[in-house]
Structure 1
């Protein structure tokens, strides 16, 4: 019997970044939905008919940034446990702290090598551990 595919929501305001992350995650065995900002992502996550196994969240976006999105998700009973990777160009230590305070399980600094992102996404979707990687 074949296992069901994991489902990821990729949230980034840059189309090229979303397409890149989609390709990496699909190669890692995920089906992928995309959102252009935190507000659109929140609406999609709340309306999802299949469970989300992973959130890949950019920090700086219009309408609702990644921090606000994660804080909103973490109060929703059906979504609060969904593993989240926050990915950003911000690389200061306090950026990772803010990500974890908002509800991220993992903080990555762009650019992330595809094989690293795929491996971490699979591990997090199955395990859900906190770590900072740069």
Structure 2
């Protein structure tokens, strides 16, 4: 069961990892309207715990968070068993330099987007990376 109730097997599951409650709320609402089941984590440590106990089709991960940032979380995730290494990751940040994009790729992100994200951009990338049509 997700935080919003039972999850249908045909709904792609997304974990949104961001320390900003307004960002999580915006992503949740947008993705749920698009047919995704959404869980949330406040930082990389909480996200790692969730990923180790649940199955996700996509992770949307912020870079700058307390306790464990997005890069550290992603490196920890990608160093684990193959099933965790293969989960698609969309990394987001307000940082827009090419160095930030390179750091995201080096950590194992599949794609990097600069915030703020429009609903259309968020849903299009989520659908493409989850590999399913919600």
TM-score, length of structure 1 as denominator length = 0.89
The answer to whether 1:31 aligns with 2:49 is no
1:131 maps to: none
Secondary structure in 2 matching 1:79: helix
2:77 maps to: 73
The answer to whether 1:91 aligns with 2:96 is yes
- Counting matched residue pairs gives 124
1:106 maps to: 111
Residues 28 and 119, structure 1, Cα contact 8 Å, conserved in 2: no
Structure 2, unaligned runs of 5 or more: 1-7
Q: Residues 3 and 38 of structure 1: is their aligned pair in 2 closer, same or farther, counting only changes over 3 Å?
A: closer
Distance 1:95 1:67 in 2: 10
1:76 Cα offset (Å): 1.9
TM-score, length of structure 2 as denominator length = 0.89
Distance 2:69 2:98 in 1: 19
Greater mean alpha carbon deviation, residues 35-44 or residues 75-84 = 75-84
Greater mean alpha carbon deviation, residues 103-112 or residues 70-79 = 70-79
Residues 54 and 83, structure 1, Cα contact 8 Å, conserved in 2: yes
Distance 1:80 1:28 in 2: 25
Residues 9 and 56, structure 1, Cα contact 8 Å, conserved in 2: yes
Measured on the aligned residues, the alpha-carbon RMSD in Å equals 1.4
Q: 2:47 aligns with which of 41, 44, 50?
A: 41
1:117 maps to: 122
